[in-house]
């Protein structure tokens, strides 16, 4: 299976130019024989939208941008980030990502954990997602997370408990700390998390970050793929756009789970019972 | 305090290119004083845009102070950028002839704002954006003239302490005498930043790093062995200079007000 991470730098608030960038990248992926092409968080709109959130929101089931993406991406699967406003929830804007397979949207994830401190202010502009569901792909079950979701243990656990063998995360993570040998210090946090989650869930962990600058914030790049044994498969450049193709073998999920039986030995019902108790006690 | 200067250079040159490109510009302009910060910024701009796309205005008051004029010209020549020298003394003198003062700070501020008006005039004439050269040390303690040297379209150096700008300058290969000469705002002859602030940059930057990046309290900084008087003075300077780092407040009257709830990104305009 050939996977590619499109570590792009979207133009803030400009859907037309970003759609063109997506279509060009899809064409490039097609020529490279890519099966699954992943774009970063809010790849169609850019990240620091603030009041542009409502102006750039789209209903993926009817908007022309998704029509173009579905048509262009017929021969492959693609993951795209966008601002979602569904007719069922007018006036609520979600930081969402869609998994499109052969021209059909098969899954939409709404970002569940919205960072809202320091340089982040997502809760001021976005509504929160409530569910983490896994979904069928040609390579088995997969999960989809967005940026800060990736730093919450329970998000990974829900993907794992939901049966995924491939965990995809799209991101617009800024870089912080320039004392290190290579890239930003903050990139270590994502890599260490990715490796640990890959090992502990015996799953592929595929992380696509963006690059570029918005209002001075630098997006760190450094997208990566870990295999279900926790080995680094590939890593993209730090701090500049990149297109990272990589070959992975989905049979590695079975191989890893035969060697390390974390999935077989997992006890979600015990987790649930304990969580219920903890949440109940916390209410006292 | 340590930086990886090669990585910082890569990020900042990309920043300069992106900020210009996004706004539909391909040229940058900056004031070149002969000091370290503007020399570093000019070097980054030349590496990002090429020497033909960078204009440096050298704006001494008369013949300038000390070696600054000669140093600025030497830097401009070495970088092969587009340089122009404009003496600001006729404009500044004309004003103070009518409104005299002995206060050197008033004179210095007027000079800084005179340079700003010339930079922005040239910015429109040659379609170039103004690059800021204020470093993190200056920004945090408010050691700059509001609407003067603090004015710019974007600032590549604003998250680097002076100590880190020096490390970057060494990596960029700037001449040693430029890197080691006493930093000066050039408000009057013989002025140095460190004498005026009352601290060396090494000490200032270390205390700032604890207070700002480390989010430590004044007491925690003192417990590290720094003199109480210095820590308190720096904390006071930071608090007292917020007005130089923000847009001024607007009295809110309507349902949607600039700065309150009309919230668009700086970079989001097509």
Taking only the tens place, the pLDDT of each residue in A47-104 is 999 999 999 999 999 999 999 999 999 999 999 999 999 999 999 999 999 999 999 9
B270: pLDDT strictly greater than 80: no
Chain A, chain B: beta-carbon pairs less than 8 Å apart = 66
Beta-bridge mates of residue B130: B29
| Co-location of B162 and B231 in the same domain | no
**Structure tokens belonging to residue A59:** 């209903």
B237 inside domain = yes
B246: pLDDT strictly greater than 70: yes
Q: Which of B236, B215, B212, B1 is nearest to B228 (CA)?
A: B236
Interface of B with A (CB under 8 A): 2-4, 7-8, 10-11, 14-15, 18-19, 22, 154, 262-270
When CB atoms are compared, the residue of B14, B154, B268 closest to A13 is B268
CA distance A60 to B174: 53
B167 inside domain = yes
The helix, strand and coil proportions of chain A, stated in percent and rounded to the nearest 5, come to 35, 25, 40
Q: Contact at 8 Å (CB) between A116 and A123?
A: yes
Beta-bridge mates of residue A101: A77, A104
When CB atoms are compared, the residue of B3, B263, B268 closest to A12 is B268
Residue B33: per-residue pLDDT: 95
Interface test with chain B among A178, A184, A237, by most B beta carbons within 10 Å: A178
Look up tokens 């070696």; give the residue: B67
A178:B10 CB<8 A = no
B263 inside domain = no
Per-residue CA distances from B10 to A19, A39, B166 (Å): 27, 23, 17
| Co-location of B74 and B167 in the same domain | yes
| Co-location of B10 and B51 in the same domain | yes
CB < 8 Å to A14, chain B = 270
Sheet of A2-7, strand order: A104-110, A94-101, A77-84, A36-38, A2-7, A242-247
| Co-location of B157 and B231 in the same domain | no
Look up tokens 């290119």; give the residue: B17
Q: Contact at 8 Å (CB) between B64 and B186?
A: yes
| Co-location of B169 and B204 in the same domain | no
Residue A21: per-residue pLDDT: 98
Per the document, the length of chain A is 284
A48:B270 CB<8 A = no
B189 inside domain = no
| Co-location of B177 and B241 in the same domain | no
Domain extent at residue B57: 5-182
Task: Please indicate if any CB of chain B lies within 8 Å of the CB of A12.
Answer: yes
Residue B267: per-residue pLDDT: 87
CA distance B269 to A11: 10
| Co-location of B95 and B24 in the same domain | yes
Q: Which of A230, A226, A229, A233 is nearest to A257 (CA)?
A: A229
**pLDDT band at B6, cuts 50/70/90?**
very high
A276: pLDDT strictly greater than 60: yes
When CB atoms are compared, the residue of A12, A180, A183 closest to B265 is A12
Torsion over CA: B29, B34, B38, B42 (sign): positive
Cite the beta strand spans of B126-247 per DSSP E: 129-130
B73: pLDDT strictly greater than 70: yes
Higher pLDDT, B102 or B268: B102
The per-type count for chain B, helices as H runs and strands as E runs, is: 12, 4
Question: Based on the structure, what is the number of domains in chain B?
Answer: 2
Q: Looking at CA atoms only, how far is residue A122 from chain B in angstroms?
A: 13
B188 inside domain = no
CA distance B158 to B172: 18
When CB atoms are compared, the residue of B154, B263, B266 closest to A51 is B263
Mean pLDDT value of segment A8-21: 97
Query: pLDDT of A121-173, one tens digit each?
Result: 999 999 999 999 999 999 999 999 999 999 999 999 999 999 999 999 999 99
CATH at B119: 3.40.50.620
Given CATH 3.30.9.10, say whether it is the number of domain A2-283: no
Q: Average pLDDT of chain B?
A: 95
Phi/psi of residue A209, each to 5°? -100, 170
B77 inside domain = yes
In chain B, the percentage of residues whose pLDDT exceeds 70 is 99
Task: Please indicate if any CB of chain B lies within 8 Å of the CB of A279.
Answer: no
| Co-location of B113 and B143 in the same domain | yes
A48:B265 CB<8 A = yes
Higher pLDDT, A18 or B195: A18
Cβ within 8 Å of B, A 141-170: none
Per-residue CA distances from B120 to A117, A248, B33, B58, B224 (Å): 35, 54, 16, 14, 44
Interface test with chain B among A216, A222, A237, by most B beta carbons within 10 Å: A216
CA distance A42 to A40: 6
Domain residue spans in chain A? 2-283
Task: Please indicate if any CB of chain B lies within 8 Å of the CB of A89.
Answer: no
B265 inside domain = no
When CB atoms are compared, the residue of B18, B263, B264 closest to A212 is B18
CB < 8 Å to B263, chain A = 50-51
B255 inside domain = no
Q: Contact at 8 Å (CB) between A119 and A107?
A: no
Q: Looking at CA atoms only, how far is residue B61 from chain A in angstroms?
A: 33
């Amino acid at each position: 299976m050939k996977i590619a991470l499109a570590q792009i730098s979207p133009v803030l608030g400009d859907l037309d130019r970003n759609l063109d960038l997506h279509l060009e990248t899809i064409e490039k992926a097609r020529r490279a024989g890519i099966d699954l092409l992943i774009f970063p968080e809010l790849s169609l709109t850019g990240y620091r939208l603030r009041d542009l959130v409502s102006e750039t929101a789209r209903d993926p089931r009817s908007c022309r941008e998704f029509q173009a993406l579905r048509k262009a991406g017929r021969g492959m699967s693609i993951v795209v980030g966008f601002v979602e406003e569904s007719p069922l929830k007018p006036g609520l804007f979600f930081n969402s990502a869609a998994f499109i397979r052969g021209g059909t949207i098969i899954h939409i994830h709404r970002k569940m954990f919205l960072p809202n401190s320091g340089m982040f202010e997502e809760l001021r502009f976005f509504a929160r997602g409530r569910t983490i569901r896994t979904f069928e792909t040609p390579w088995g079950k997969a999960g989809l997370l967005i940026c800060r979701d990736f730093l919450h243990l329970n998000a990974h656990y829900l993907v794992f408990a939901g049966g995924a063998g491939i965990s995809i995360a799209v991101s617009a993570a800024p870089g912080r700390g320039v004392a290190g040998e290579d890239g930003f210090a903050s990139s270590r946090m994502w890599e260490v998390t990715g490796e640990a989650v890959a090992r502990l869930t015996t799953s592929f962990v595929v992380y696509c970050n963006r690059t570029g600058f918005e209002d001075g914030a630098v997006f760190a790049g450094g997208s990566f793929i870990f295999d279900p044994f926790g080995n680094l498969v590939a890593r993209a450049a730090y701090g500049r756009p990149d297109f990272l193709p990589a070959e992975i073998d989905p049979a590695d999920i079975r191989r890893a789970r035969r060697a390390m039986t974390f999935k077989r030995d997992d006890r979600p019902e015990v987790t649930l019972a304990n969580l219920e108790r903890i949440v109940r006690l916390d209410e006292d | 305090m340590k930086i990886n200067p090669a990585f910082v250079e890569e990020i900042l040159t990309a920043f300069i290119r992106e900020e210009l490109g996004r706004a539909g510009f391909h040229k940058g302009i900056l004031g070149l004083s002969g000091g370290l910060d503007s020399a570093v910024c000019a070097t980054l701009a030349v590496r990002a845009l090429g020497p033909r796309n960078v204009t440096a205005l050298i704006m001494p008051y008369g013949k300038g102070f000390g070696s600054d004029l000669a140093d600025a010209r030497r830097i401009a020549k070495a970088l092969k950028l587009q340089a122009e020298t404009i003496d600001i003394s006729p404009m500044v003198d004309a004003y103070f002839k009518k409104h005299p003062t002995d206060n050197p700070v008033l004179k210095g501020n007027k000079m800084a704002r005179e340079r700003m008006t010339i930079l922005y005039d040239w910015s429109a004439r040659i379609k170039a954006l103004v690059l800021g050269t204020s470093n993190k040390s200056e920004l945090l303690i408010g050691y700059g003239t509001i609407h003067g040297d603090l004015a710019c379209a974007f600032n590549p150096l604003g998250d680097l302490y002076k100590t880190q700008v020096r490390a970057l300058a060494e990596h960029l290969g700037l001449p040693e005498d430029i890197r080691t000469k006493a930093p000066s705002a050039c408000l009057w002859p013989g002025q140095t930043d460190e004498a005026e602030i009352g601290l060396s940059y090494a000490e200032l930057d270390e205390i700032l790093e604890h207070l700002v990046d480390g989010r430590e309290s004044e007491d925690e900084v003192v417990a590290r062995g720094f003199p109480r008087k210095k820590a308190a003075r720096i904390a006071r300077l930071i608090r007292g200079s917020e007005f130089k780092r923000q847009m001024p407040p607007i009295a809110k009257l309507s349902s949607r007000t600039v700065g309150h709830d009309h919230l668009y990104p700086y970079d989001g305009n097509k």
